[in-house]
Amino acid sequence: MSTKKIIAMSAPVVITAGEVDGEKKGPAKFNVLAYTGGLLPGALRSGDDHEDVIMDLAGMETGKSLIANLDHEMPQRVGHVNSATHDGKELRLSGIASAATKARDEVVNSAAEGFVWQASIEANPTKLELVKPGSTVKVNGQEFEAPARGGRALYVARRSVLKGFSFVSHGADDNTTVSIAASAAPSKEKKMKAEVQAWAEGMGIDVDNATPELLATIEANYEGKNGKPAKKIEASNPFEARKLEAKRRNDIREIADKFIERRDGDLEFIEAVEKMVDHAIEAKMDAKEFRLEMYESSVPLAHTVPTPRGRSETGMTSRILQAAICQAGRLSTVEKDFTDQELQLARDKFRDGISLNQFFITAAEMNGYRGSSGGRMNQEVQNYAFGKLSAHGRQIQAQGFSTIDVANITGAVANKFIHEGWMGVDQTPLRVAAIKNVRNFQLATTVSLTGALQFTELGAAGEIKHETLDEVIYTNQAKTYAAMLAITRQDIINDDLGALTAVPKRLGRGAMLLLNHIFWTEFLILETDGFFAAGNANINTGVADMTVGGLDATEAIFMAQTDYDGKPLSIQPKILLVPTALRNKALTLMASETAVYATSVATQGTANIFRGRFSVESSPYMSNSAYTGFSAAEWYMLADPNELAVIEIAALNGRVEPTVDTADTDFNTLGVQYRGYSDVGVKRQEKKAGVLADGGAS
């Protein structure tokens, strides 16, 4: 039997809001008599088996983060436990209903109206002791007798780790009690404001006979201050706010993926992490908070997370839906992006490949849809799929928690196909340019790396001389480029899954075409506007063809480059950037062991001294007549852009690839929208980082 189980015990809950001297100071607080040291029938769970258990309080430890949630659903945070104590006989918890979630509001507001919650405590046994049938054992100052053979087994959890508890409607341990009370409840004699009393009486509450705790809760609920609000992303305009929100979601997704990689193939763990992602997005967590949640919560111990409501018996998860779509769309990296188990489950569930309508209907069913759609998507199916309708058909907020989040699935799939479309276009700019990480859309500056900074001998007094950098400044600026496409009602009627795969692939391709356009527009004009010129000592107009002689002459010019103080630049050339007409010549020169020289072999030798010296980069844009400065003969010898760059790509937060947002269309319109955008800029940089060869007789 595994030693990783959930032990649950329950108790009634009474809730009031926290006050100090009659003034609202913060969220509600709870105090829980969680366990009285007795027998917990059927509380030790191992798959479908339920065994009796006694928790030895002497061997109980507390986890780093004790969370209070609703109905054992990890994303439905209510608050946190800040104190867990026991005297060897009883376990007590106290904490704060601190989560800014609808689950917290449901618990607090329901209790204010008289609903009695119970608490179900969660713990992981790390050492279990089976009590011999018919024998007795003493634990927590009490004696217990194990049933005779044939009865349910009795275990003692000699060591365990407390993980938190859940608010539930029904419990198991009748001896325990839970109260959630104010830190300093107002006296009953304190006169309630007339408008508050009228509001409470309008809901049928007997204010005159209400307990002090209930009075505190009524006032807290009326004021609407019984919890800190969710964080909001601040931005100067809506467009910037959208980009900040997209970055937040992307950072959370990347953190989650790293955790998933560590537990490759563990579907239960993967689903638990996906639910944490949903919660983090809804709760407006930033990446740092989410990472801390992942490390400190019980979610990484996948077996401690209960099976979520709505999950099918076949083990369907959002990851399996993603895998099915990517298989049907023939994503080239599908074997790398998903585990063998996920791919096999996707094939087993959708043997003929998933269709667009199947995807939406499956997501809707996992969110509680039980209607008959005839195998076709309709508005009701879409609303369930996007979490706009609850399992009871009631309208909820679009951002509310649901078992499956279609927007997240389509977004994850879209990003995979966007990357594939992006990679299908010429990547030369990314290999010859420096990539600058910028944090906003303001003009960014870079100081030249060619300034004079040379070590000097330390004097007898040990004083180090202050040196200065030559302030040669380059600038760059990221701008936003965007496009929008949609899965239309016609796509849905045609059941065209390509709308989920081909559309984002086109967005990815379009983004890289855009980057190529702005890159080569800036790069090829460098000769015509004097960037490469004799006065800058960075152009070869002599022997400049793609031959050993041309390479020799161009390299000599490059190596003669000096700092702005006249000293050698001391940077080696690394790249040959050539038009497609010269690509094969350049590759031949880099691969050949011997070369034909213009002078006598007897005096020159036949070894190709340039073999493997440079990496060859080529692009059809260089000789395209649509761009000013195009040429089929001119080529460039460049330094490694990470050392010194002729040209630079500025990318917001270092992301060169595009970002995609997905959402359903307006509530009464059938369809899904895609919004793709790139935040990039291209600008010339250091004249000394390259030499232009004009082609000579080539």
The residue among 331, 489, 323 whose CA lies nearest residue 424 is 331
Q: How many angstroms separate the CA atoms of 283 and 229, rounded?
A: 9
* Choice among 150-154, 201-205, 418-422, 694-698 with the minimum mean pLDDT: 201-205
Q: Would you say 461 and 499 are in contact if contact means Cβ atoms under 8 Å apart?
A: no
- The phi, psi pair for 545, rounded to 5°, reads -85, 175
Residue 315 confidence (pLDDT): 61
Q: Output the furthest CA–CA distance in the chain (Å, rounded).
A: 115
Per-residue exposure over 547-574, b if at least 16 CB sit within 10 Å of its own CB, e if not: bbbbbebbbebbeebebeeeeebebebb
Residue 589: per-residue pLDDT: 92
The residue type found at 575 is I
Residue 234 vs residue 572, higher pLDDT: 572
Question: For 110-121, what is each residue's pLDDT tens digit?
Answer: 777 766 777 777
What is the per-residue pLDDT for 630?
93
Dist. CA 262–CA 248, nearest whole Å: 22
Distance from C-alpha of 312 to C-alpha of 318, rounded to nearest angstrom: 11
* Token duo for residue 2: 């595994």
Q: List pLDDT tens digits, range 295-335.
A: 655 333 333 333 333 334 346 788 899 999 999 989 999 99
Find residue 46's DSSP bridge partners: 49
User: What is the band of 396 on the pLDDT scale with cuts at 50, 70, 90?
Assistant: very low
Burial label for 582, CB within 10 Å (0-12, 13-18, 19+), is: buried
Across the range 145-149, mean pLDDT stands at 78
For residue 559, which amino acid is it?
A: M
Pair 322, 409: CB distance under 8 Å: yes
Contacts of 535 (CB under 8 A, 6+ apart): none
Q: Please list the residues that pair with 652 across neighbouring strands.
A: 438
Q: Which residue has the tokens 């009285």?
A: 36
Which range is most confident: 129-133, 218-222, 264-268, 404-408? Answer: 129-133
Q: How many helices (H) and strands (E) does the chain have?
A: 18, 26
What is the pLDDT, as a whole number, of residue 257? 77
Residue ranges and CATH numbers for the domains of the chain are 12-223 (3.20.16), 238-417 (no CATH), 425-455+468-525+653-684 (3.30.2400), 535-645+686-693 (no CATH)
Q: Report whether pLDDT(584) > 90.
A: yes
DSSP 498-554: HHHHHHHHHHHHHHHHHHHHHHHHHHHTTTTTTSS-GGGT-EE-SS-SSSHHHHHHH
Among 571, 557, 551, which residue's Cα sits nearest to residue 612?
551
How many residues belong to the chain? Answer: 698
With contact defined as beta carbons under 8 Å apart, do 434 and 446 qualify?
Answer: no
Q: Between 343 and 98, whose confidence is greater?
A: 343
DSSP secondary structure code for residue 594 in this structure:
B
| Continuous H helices in 187-317 | 194-202, 212-223, 238-262, 267-282, 287-296
Contact call for residues 101 and 78 (beta carbons, < 8 A):
yes
Least confident of 305-319, 396-410, 630-644: 305-319
In angstroms and rounded to an integer, the radius of gyration of the C-alpha atoms of the chain is 34
**Tokens 């340039």, residue?**
610
Rounded Cα gap, residues 225 and 205, in angstroms: 20
SS (H, E, C) 480-494: EEEEEEEECHHHHHC
Dihedral pair phi/psi, residue 526, rounded to 5°: -65, -30
Q: What is the pLDDT of residue 9?
A: 46
pLDDT tens per residue across span 175-226: 444 444 433 333 334 566 666 666 565 555 566 666 555 566 566 555 543 3
Distance CA 156, CA 55 (A): 6
Q: Are 525 and 435 in contact (CB under 8 A)?
A: no
Q: Which region among 154-168, 239-253, 289-303 has the lowest average model confidence (pLDDT)?
A: 289-303
Mean per-residue pLDDT for 467-492?
69
* Residue type for position 343: L
Of 125-134, 296-305, 510-519, 642-651, the least confident: 296-305
Residues 535/687, Cβ–Cβ less than 8 Å: no
